[in-house]
Structure formats: C-alpha cells, structure tokens
Amino acid sequence: ANPFTLIAGPCQIQSLDHCLMIAERLAKATADAGVGFIFKSSYDKANRTSLDAKRGVGRDEGLAILQGVRDRLGCPVLTDVHLPSDCVPVAEAVDVLQIPAFLCRQTDLLLAAGATGAAINVKKGQFLAPWDMVNVAAKIASTGNERILLCERGASFGYNTLVADMRSLPIMARTGYPVVMDATHSVQQPGGQGTTSGGQREFAPVMARAGAAIGVGAIFIETHEDPDNAPSDGPNMIHLERMPALIASLAAFDRLAKADPLAV
Amino acid sequence: ANPFTLIAGPCQIQSLDHCLMIAERLAKATADAGVGFIFKSSYDKANRTSLDAKRGVGRDEGLAILQGVRDRLGCPVLTDVHLPSDCVPVAEAVDVLQIPAFLCRQTDLLLAAGATGAAINVKKGQFLAPWDMVNVAAKIASTGNERILLCERGASFGYNTLVADMRSLPIMARTGYPVVMDATHSVQQPGGQGTTSGGQREFAPVMARAGAAIGVGAIFIETHEDPDNAPSDGPNMIHLERMPALIASLAAFDRLAKADPLAV
Amino acid sequence: ANPFTLIAGPCQIQSLDHCLMIAERLAKATADAGVGFIFKSSYDKANRTSLDAKRGVGRDEGLAILQGVRDRLGCPVLTDVHLPSDCVPVAEAVDVLQIPAFLCRQTDLLLAAGATGAAINVKKGQFLAPWDMVNVAAKIASTGNERILLCERGASFGYNTLVADMRSLPIMARTGYPVVMDATHSVQQPGGQGTTSGGQREFAPVMARAGAAIGVGAIFIETHEDPDNAPSDGPNMIHLERMPALIASLAAFDRLAKADPLAV
Amino acid sequence: ANPFTLIAGPCQIQSLDHCLMIAERLAKATADAGVGFIFKSSYDKANRTSLDAKRGVGRDEGLAILQGVRDRLGCPVLTDVHLPSDCVPVAEAVDVLQIPAFLCRQTDLLLAAGATGAAINVKKGQFLAPWDMVNVAAKIASTGNERILLCERGASFGYNTLVADMRSLPIMARTGYPVVMDATHSVQQPGGQGTTSGGQREFAPVMARAGAAIGVGAIFIETHEDPDNAPSDGPNMIHLERMPALIASLAAFDRLAKADPLAV
C-alpha cells in the first residue's frame, strides 16, 4: 500500500498569499516525510452555526486562489461543493470535490459531483452509520466515476459532541475505496460555544495517529498559523508550526501500518 | 393557546387522487376533533438511503397536485424544498415550506425560504442540539420573515436509531416560535434495513401523545392507507384508518395541556 | 387501569422530622388527587460522584426513620439496596426495595432482593436497552417473586447527559410488570459539575407529564423544600411547594390516559 | 516510558489446565515481544445478561486456580471483585483487583479494594465521561493506595452498542495513573443477542492497535482457543492462535509510540 496522503490547509480561504504560505509549508513537510499532499481550503462555509459568521471569499475568487496554489506549487487542490450547480465550475478548477457531511445523502449533489469525473471525498454524515456509506458511494459510482474517498469526521454523541469510532475505518474500507481520517473535525464540538462551534484541538493529533496506525489512505487536517484568530474552526485546527513534526510522526506510524496491514 | 395543528399526509406524492383521498379523511377527522390541518406530501425525496429508491413525481407535477388539494379542500399545504432555487416556485404553490433536517444549517436555503414570506417549518437536524435551533431560526428571521416553526424529529442515538428528547420541545419553545412534534420520523431507523430506512410505526402514537401532552403547536404525522407498500417511509407511517381515533385522542390531550400549560 | 402511584420523597434521609414533613405534604396531595403514594428516601448514597459528598444517615438509623414514616402516616415506604446482605434487613423495614440503575445487572443483588418477597423497583441502567430489562425481571422472577416494577430513569446520551426515550415505557410494559417513569433522574446530568452531578429540574415536570400521558403505573419524583441546599440531587429535585399542583395536573393526564390506553 | 503490559486471558476460568494452557501461550508471546504480561480470568460473572448464563467456578476454586497459574508461570494475575467482602480474600490470591465497569462508582467497593494495597484496575463505566474517572481514582487513593489503573472499555452509544472514544486515553492519563485500553470489551454489543451479549471480534485488533499507537500503559484482551464455544464473551474474544502475531504487532506500535509521545 502507498503512503498516506495528507489533505490539509486552512478551513477557509483568506487570500492567495495566505494559502500559498500554508501550502508551501505543508508541501515541504509532506515531501520531507515521503507522503502525498492535497491542499484543502473552502471558499464558502455554507452551513455556519450562525448567520453572523464569516462565510468566505466566494466561489469565483476562491477558485482563482486554489488554481493559483495548484499552479505555483504543483499540488492537487480540494474544496467543497454545496449545490449541484457548483460541481462543474469547481471541477474545472480543482482536483478533488468534497461533499460536506450534512450533505452526504443529497442524491443530486452526489450525482452532479460524480458526473464531473473528478475525485470525490465524501464526509460521512454525523448521523450516518459507517456501513451506510456503501449506499452513498453507490450513488456516485452510478455515474461511472469510481474515484471516491470516504471520510470519517465523527458521529453525533449526545449534544454538541462528536465521537470518532475507529471501527468505521475498516468498515468503510470494505467498499474498496480509500478511507480518510479527518482528525480535526472529529474533535469539533458543534454549536458548543453558542453561536460558534467549539473544538478540542489538543486531541486532533490523537485522532490522526490512530488513523495512521490503522492504515488509512489519507489523513485530513485543518491548520492555521494563528488558529485562535482564524475566521472559522479555530478551536479544532492544529497550529501550523506543529505540522511538520506531526507529519513526520504520522508517516512513521503509516509505514508501520502499511507493512503490517490489519486483517479485518 | 390554540388547539394544535395536524401536519399530515403521505410521505411521498403518488397522484392527485391519492392525495385527495388521504387529505379528505384527515380534513374530516381534524375538523371533527376541532384541531387545525395542513396537508403534507413530498414531490422529491432528495436524500433517499439508496439510489434505487423512488424519488417522487418531480416538482412541476407535485406542485400541481398540492395546489389541486388546496383548491379542492381549502386546506393549507406543505412540502419540502432542497435547493435555494426551489423556494420561489414552491412558495407560489404551497403555504408552508419545509426545510429537511439534514439541510437545517444550509444558510442559503434558509435565507431563500425565508425571503419568500411563506411559513417555514424547519426540522431540527439529527445532529443538532435543541438550543442550537435558535441560530437556525435567526437565519430565517434575518429575512424579515418570522413565520417559523421548529420541529423535533429525533436526534442521532448510536447507529441507525433516533431518540426524541422531550426536553427539546420546551427548549425550542423558548424562541417564541411554535414547536412541532414529528411523531413518525422520530421513530425512524435511518438506514436500518440496509438499502432503506426502517421504523417503529407502533411507537409513533406514543410520540404524538407525549407531544400533545406537553402542549406543542403542531403534530406531524405521515400516514398511508397501505404503509407496507408505500414508496417511502412505510415502516414508520401510521395506517390511515387509525388516524381518526388517534386525532381525537390527541385533541383530548391537547385540550388538557393547553388548559394547564407547563411552566418551564 | 388504576390511577398511578406517586413514588416520591427527598433523595436522602435527613431526619425523621424532615421525612415526616415531606411525606405528610405528599400524602395529602396524592390523596386529594386520588392517586397512590409510596414514600421514597435513601439512607446511603453508595455511588456518589465524589468521596467528599454526603452518603447519608446509614442503614440502621435510616430504616428506623422509614418505619417511623410508615407507622405515623400509614403509607408504604421504599428505599434502595446496594448489597445482597442489605436485602433481608431492609425488607423487614420497608415495603419496596429499589435496585439502583448501576446495579440492575448484579445477579446476586436481584436474587437476594427477590427472595425477600418484597416488591422490587428496578431502575433501568443508563447503559441498558429497554428490551433488555426482560432479562433483569426474569432474574427476580426466578425467586418466585413477581412483584416487580421496571423504571425508566434515562439512558446515556454522550457524556454527562441522559435522555429519556419514551419508547422504553411501552417496551418495558410488554413484560406485564408495572412501569415507572422517574422524572427527576431522567433530567440528571451525571458528573456534570465536576465533583457532583448537575440536573435540569425545570424539565422534570415535562418528563412526568409525558409519562402520565403514556399511562405508566407509577411516577417517581424526588422533592425537597430547599433543593439548592439538599445534601444530594438538588439540581434535579422539584421544589416541594410545586408538588401539589403538579400531582393534581399529572392525575388529570393519568385519568385521560387510563381511559384511552395506547395500543402498542 | 516502559513497554505496555498485556492483560489477557479467557473471560471465564474454566479449569487450571485450561488457564495454564492459555497463560503459557501468552507468557511466551509477550516475552518474545518484550512486553509485560498479567494473566486475567474471572471466577464469577456476576452481571450476566441472563440468569441462565454460566457464572463461573466460584471464588474459592477460582482463586486456587489463579494462584496455580501464578505459582507455575511466575506471572502476576488479575481478577475482578464484585462486593466489598471479596476484596481481602481476593487480594491474598491475586496481584491486581479489577473493578467492573458497572461498579466503578460503588464507593464501598472502591475503598475496600484500595485498602488491600493491591493494584486496582478500574474499568470506566459505560455511562461515565473520561474526566469523571478522576473522582473514581480519588476514592481509591483516599485509602493511601496509589497503585491505580484506569481502563477504557467503551461508552454507551445508543442501544446494544459501545464506542471507544480515543480521547478518553489522554484524558484519563492526565491523572498520572497508567491507562489501559480494553480492546475486546470495547467491541462488545451488550445484550445484542437477546439473552447474551454480542460482539465484533474482528475489530478488537483495531482497538488494540489504536491504543498502542497512542501509547497506553496496558492493553486488555480476552482470548480463547475456541471463542465460539467459550462460556462467556465468545463473540468479542480474540482467537488464541492469533495472539502471538497480534502481540508482536502491538509491540512495534508501542515502541514507536513510546519513542514519540503525544503531547496532549
């Protein structure tokens, strides 16, 4: 099995310079560690807890910035789509379309995304059992597009809390599609701060490491150079300066896992 | 306080005749019981568990049928919307737009629905705490539209199971908006049959009665004359022939509750 | 069906005078409302969150006080047991033995309690499905004692939170044994204050009313004249002065429910 | 940090020969892998789902067998206690007393266990938040005994299902006591087969590996040479013949984790 791919970047696109700064750091760290890299950032946070929260730069500007990152650094880029009509224009600009967790059962969005032929990373809904992702993947695959990734990002566990069930990784892997461990959203506390979501940033490396040890295909991490002042998901993003050491550490667990695959 | 309104109908629109048959039975039973009535049915099941499941008659045909019911019976009608672009045409045909639970945080959909001026019934997401619905309502109210209903339809409770937390009714009522108890979706077992959702139809009257006793503004019930052969949500729909007695029973609990409001 | 029985009293025995004061108020209010009454209080809180919390007056003094209440007021009394060796002496002093939720699977305790011939109220474990209570009841019934009550007091729902699933009432009722709705423990927040449990007293009447509307055999409520200064469970106990009106209200819902039983 | 200790053995003591056969295999495999070993087995399953299930050989015979294993193999042995009165006699025969999860809040049991001076492995209740284990540990430590281990064995997640939250490992580690990952009970499905518990044996190695990667002090695994015919916990026990390879694999992840400790 191949080394894992790191899917990482700031939650929200702020500017081309900001994205490039982060992407360069991550590209170097992943290259040093011998793992893959896909830059991730969002142009529109379409489901913020509160209307007053910042939504982002918008699609046109966001796609231009993501293409700028891709052109300058040569790395693939990923962003999320929210409506079927987003899929074609976004797929022209990025390599991987991401389906947000809340939207993972929206048939038209899955079909529109699949029809672009782009790779599709589907976040498992907080309300969904891991075995039910087989039906989600089948909707995409019905378009003839089998470039599917299935992502664990935590399941609802009481109110304002998620829990990442490690069984979901091997369960989703039975589909044959690569599985992604989203380390930073798994420690989100949705709505936990009244008008914004909280998070437990300190446990994101725990989730990432557990995923690496289980041998996932990709690890998803949101990061920022100043999480406490980031426009979204600050409480669960990992500080950028911690990323190089974390990536190197995850690569070591990944190598061990890939040399000793779990038979489940 | 006024008697509750029953929001009821078959999960999925099958035909005008079928809708009329059900709506007539429900209109008579609610009139006999002295409670309100809004006919509910869906033209598009946009998030079925599996791609192979029936999605519905489509928007144009569905809206024509709903208008037919409204014209013939004089009752308000409700249907759900899935995309911002649905909202204007749907609001021209129906009285209440419903936001599906999975979509209750999609800002653009909430804003587009609110902007129509129609009443909006928002289902609380299976992943959402009841106190977080205040932010959802604020998104709609930002359009100047305060005709908002907030609906309990169960929260994720482990995998393939929901639980209806009765505390959510008074918590959501603190917003000042009417609260709806969805008795049939609260007993759904999402994805519980592999490629379809299961349900525990036998407990829907329990949920409806508990909601009536707590004094909700509306009770939501899906019903069908042959649930086992209905195109969707059969396992949790209540048999149509049980509805008149159930409505009369709920009206008695509602009268008692409205005469003796809970101070919470 | 008979009117419900109120099982109520202060969480913890403080003194004979204190118990009598509360029991008299409750005996009068239940008699006025035409419902049954069993006085409940505990002599030992054997599983407090923290070692520093008050455990109670102890078994000998506690049983003497409970017998004092029974002798003076003529009402049956209930208390909980924690060890098999408690059962015989406690059954000599009280009418109903209660098995705490954490202990509902401890076979020796269930057998020892059953063997006394006393009525046994078993709290459903926060970790147990309602259908699994059939096995719990069978352990008691194996002693030849069928005087069993099965009690809903909330199920674990994430951390530090419980949820009362109303389906559990009809599910447990299928055993044929009377079902009890514990209104005050269902709104407990275990461990939610660091070294003590929190609670949401304001929602206890909601739970009680939902249970009454569903037609339970008994409703369990802890109450105190000064909950904020009670030695245990203050955050979820109902203020004693609210009890007469609540009891009268519950009796009205109970009469309606018993006249119109749910067929589930 | 030291290599992890494997706490392992058959769920239930069957005979001295059977225990020796399993203990020898595990002692050799752990020695080969350079990790510690404590033999675990139970003489009494005091909280079986159903009364008809086998409870075990009883305390006297069980302790004699455990001492036999200790004498013959020189390894420490662990067993669980259920009543305060068990603690002294059990502590004379074994090295580690285990507090079952359901009993982790029973103050008298914790105090009696602590007072023996033996090491105490406390399973975190399925109903308990990981941060609440600090109060549990404090009860034991109040006896002057700080030889405490805190064990994750899954939290209630809906009905008949547990989920192991990996955050609980670093959270409990903040107490300073060694943390144990119970890989086989975390995949138990309590009551999931009607009168017995089910389990997902295939995922136990996933849990064990995640725990090893996070750097726990001990890993708990129940094992049997014929799990499908074992007297208890068959569905979640790992087949004995898989244990040597699993132990070697876990040791590799443990070495990596101990060389690269998570800073949380």
**DSSP code per residue over D112-128:** HHHHT-SEEEEEPPTT-
Give D172's pLDDT tier (boundaries 50, 70, 90).
very high
Q: Are A120 and B121 in contact (CB under 8 A)?
A: no
Average pLDDT, chain B: 96
- Looking up tokens 């087995």, which residue turns up? D41
Cβ-contact B122, B96 below 8 angstroms = no
Contact: A125, B139; criterion CB under 8 Å? no
Distances (CA, A) of C71 to A132, C66, C67, C259: 60, 9, 6, 34
Count of structural domains, chain D: 1
Distance between CA atoms of residues C64 and A161, nearest Å = 46
User: How far apart, in whole angstroms, are the C-alpha atoms of residue A201 and residue C244?
Assistant: 49
Taking the C-alpha atoms of residue B116 and residue B125, their distance in angstroms, rounded to an integer, is 22
Instruction: Determine the pLDDT at residue C53.
Output: 87
Give which of C12, C142, C25 is closest to C80, Cα–Cα: C12
Q: Could you tell me the sign of the dihedral formed by the alpha carbons of A82, A88, A92, A96, in that order?
A: positive
What phi and psi, each to the nearest 5 degrees, are found at residue B36?
-80, 170
Is D247:D33 a contact under the CB 8 Å cutoff? yes
Confidence of residue C165 (pLDDT cuts 50, 70, 90): very high
**Residue B144, SS3?**
coil
Query: Which is nearest to B180 in space by CA: B120, B223, B249, B117?
Result: B120
Residue D37 DSSP code: E
pLDDT in tens, D89-144: 999 999 999 999 999 999 999 999 999 999 999 999 999 999 999 999 999 999 99
In this prediction, residue D196 carries a pLDDT of 83
**pLDDT grade, residue B216 (50/70/90)?**
very high
Using 50, 70 and 90 to split pLDDT, how confident is the model at C193? confident
Which residues, 6+ apart, have CB-to-CB distance to D4 below 8 Å? D35, D36, D212, D216, D217, D218, D219, D250, D251, D254
Q: Which residues contact D122 (CB under 8 A, 6 or more apart)?
A: D98, D99, D104, D110, D133, D136, D137, D140, D148, D149, D150, D151
Q: Is residue A264 part of a domain?
A: no
Question: Is residue C244 one of the residues assigned to a domain?
Answer: yes
Residue B210 has pLDDT above 90, yes or no: yes
Q: Is D8 helix (H, G, I), strand (E, B) or coil?
A: strand
User: Is residue B264 one of the residues assigned to a domain?
Assistant: no
Q: Locate the chain A residue with the closest alpha carbon to C162.
A: A158
pLDDT digits (tens, 9 = 90+) for D12-25: 999 999 999 999 99
For C105, counting Cβ atoms within 10 Å of its Cβ (0-12 exposed, 13-18 middle, 19+ buried), the class is buried
Could you tell me whether strands B179-182 and B148-152 are parallel, antiparallel, or unpaired per DSSP bridges? parallel
**SS3 at position B249:** helix
Shortest alpha-carbon distance between residue A85 and chain B (Å):
10
Mean pLDDT within B91-116:
98
Asked, for residue B54, whether it belongs to a domain, the answer is: yes
Nearest by CB to A102, from B105, B138, B160: name it. B105
| Residue D32 token pair | 């080969």
Cβ(A35)–Cβ(A27) under 8 Å?
A: no
Note the pLDDT of residue A127.
97
Chain B residues whose CB is inside 8 A of the A139 CB are 50-51
Closest CA to A210 of A263, A170, A161: A170
3 state SS of A251 = helix
Q: Which residue has the tokens 């204190």?
A: C18
Q: What is the pLDDT of residue C229?
A: 92
For residue C231, give every residue at least 6 positions away whose Cβ sits within 8 Å of its Cβ, in sequence order, or none: C11, C12, C14, C53, C54, C56
C104: distance to nearest CA of chain B, Å? Answer: 22
pLDDT over 90 percentage in chain C: 91
On whether residue D264 sits in a domain, the answer given is: no
Chains B–C, number of C-beta pairs less than 8 Å apart: 83
pLDDT at B234: 87
- pLDDT (0 to 100) of residue D198: 87
Q: Kindly identify which residue of chain D lies nearest to residue C141, measuring between CA atoms.
A: D51
Cβ distance C124 to C130 under 8 Å?
yes
The reply to whether A172 falls in a domain is: yes
Q: Is residue A15 part of a domain?
A: yes
- Least confident interval from A229-238, B5-14, C171-180: A229-238
- The answer to whether D220 and D7 have CB atoms below 8 angstroms apart is yes
A159 and C159 in contact by Cβ < 8 A?
Answer: no
CB contact under 8 A, C164 and B169: no
At residue A233 the predicted structure's pLDDT band, cuts being 50, 70 and 90, is confident
Q: Which residues of D touch B163 (CB under 8 A)?
A: 158
Find chains touching chain D: ≥3 CB pairs under 8 Å.
Answer: A, B, C
- Alpha-carbon distance A197 to A184, whole Å? 12
Contact state of A256 with D260 under an 8 Å Cβ cutoff: no
The tokens for D135 are 């109060």
On the question of pLDDT at C196 being above 90, the answer is no
What is the model's pLDDT at position A194? Answer: 82
Going by their DSSP bridges, the two strands D119-123 and D96-99 should be labelled as parallel
Distance (Å, whole) CA A62 – CA D48: 58
Q: Is residue A192 part of a domain?
A: yes
- Per-residue pLDDT band for B195 (boundaries 50, 70, 90) equals confident
Contacts of C188 (CB under 8 A, 6+ apart): C154, C162, C197, C198, C199, C233, C235, C236
d(CA C187, CA C208): 11
Chains with 3 or more CB pairs under 8 A to chain B: A, C, D
HSE at residue D199, side-chain half, CA atoms within 13 A, is: 25
Query: What is the band of D171 on the pLDDT scale with cuts at 50, 70, 90?
Result: very high
Alpha-carbon distance A183 to A211, whole Å? Answer: 8
**Are residues B211 and B169 in contact, defined by beta-carbon separation less than 8 angstroms?**
yes
Cβ C264–B209 below 8 Å, yes or no?
Answer: no
Q: Which of A107, A142, A195 sits opposite B135 (nearest CB)?
A: A195
In this complex, the chains that touch A, judged by 3 or more CB pairs closer than 8 A, are: B, C, D
Kindly list the residues from chain C whose CB atom is less than 8 angstroms away from the CB atom of residue D127: 102, 125-127, 156, 190
Residues 6+ apart with CB under 8 A from A240: A22, A25, A223, A224, A225
Q: For position A80, which CATH number holds?
A: 3.20.20.70
Q: Minimal Cα–Cα distance from C76 to chain B, Å?
A: 29
Reported ipTM: 0.96
Nearest CA in chain D to B158: D158
Name the closest residue on chain B to residue D161, using Cα atoms. Answer: B158
The residue range of the domain holding B129 is 5-259
Alpha-carbon span D18 to B149, nearest angstrom? 64
Q: Which residues of D touch C163 (CB under 8 A)?
A: none
In chain A, residues with a C-beta closer than 8 Å to the C-beta of D157 are 157, 163, 165
Residue type, B170: P
The predicted model gives D185-193 an average pLDDT of 89
Q: Which two tokens stand for residue D44?
A: 């009494």
Determine the distance in angstroms separating the CA of B125 from the nearest CA of chain A, rounded to an integer: 9
Q: Which two tokens stand for residue B111?
A: 């804003």
Nearest to B51 among A130, A138, A159 (CB): A138
A129: nearest CA in chain B? B159
| Distance between CA atoms of residues C190 and A20, nearest Å | 47
Q: What is the pLDDT of residues A160-201, one digit of tens each?
A: 999 999 999 999 999 999 999 999 999 999 987 788 888 899
Residue C209 and residue C245 in contact, taking contact as beta carbons nearer than 8 Å? no
How many Cβ atoms from other residues are within 10 Å of residue B205's Cβ? 24
Other C-beta atoms closer than 10 Å to the C-beta of A17 total 10
